[in-house]
Amino acid sequence: MAVIYDRVALIGLGLIASSMAHAMKKWGLAGSIAGYAKTEATREAALELGFCDEVFATAGDAVKNADLVILAVPVGVMGAVAAEIRPHLKPGATVTDVGSVKQAVVEAVGPHVPDGVDFVPGHPLAGTEHSGPRSGFATLFQNRFTLLTPGDARPEAVARLRALWEGMGALVEEMEADHHDLVLAVTSHTPHLIAYTMVGVADHLRRVTESEVIKYSAAGFRDFTRIAASDPTMWRDVFLTNKEATLDILGRFTEELFALQRAIRMGDGDELFNYFTRTRAIRRGIIEAGQDTAAPDFGRTKADGP
Quote the CA–CA distance of 134 and 272 in Å, as a whole number.
44
Alpha carbon distances (Å) from 69 to 79, 147, 262: 14, 17, 52
Residue 167's pLDDT is what? 98
Strand partners, 95: 69, 119
CATH superfamily of 179-293: 6-phosphogluconate dehydrogenase C-terminal like domain (1.10.3660.10)
Q: Which CATH superfamily is domain 5-175 in?
A: NAD(P)-binding Rossmann-like Domain (3.40.50.720)
Which residues, at least 6 apart from 42, have a Cβ–Cβ distance to it below 8 Å? 13, 132, 133
CA angle 145–72–112, rounded 5-degree value: 110
Q: Mean pLDDT of residues grouped by 10 in the chain (306 residues)? A: 95 96 97 96 96 97 98 95 98 97 96 97 90 93 96 96 98 96 92 87 79 80 80 87 92 92 95 91 84 68 42
The pLDDT of residue 298 is 59
- Determine the Cα–Cα distance for residues 240 and 246; give it in Å rounded to an integer: 9
Q: Compute CA distances 7 → 10, 21, 35, 53, whole Å.
A: 10, 12, 11, 10
Range(s) of the chain covered by CATH 1.10.3660.10: 179-293
pLDDT score recorded for residue 184: 93
Model pLDDT, residue 306: 33
Pure H helices in 1-74? 15-26, 40-49, 59-63
Give the pLDDT confidence score for residue 225 in this predicted structure.
Answer: 80
Say what the pTM is.
0.85
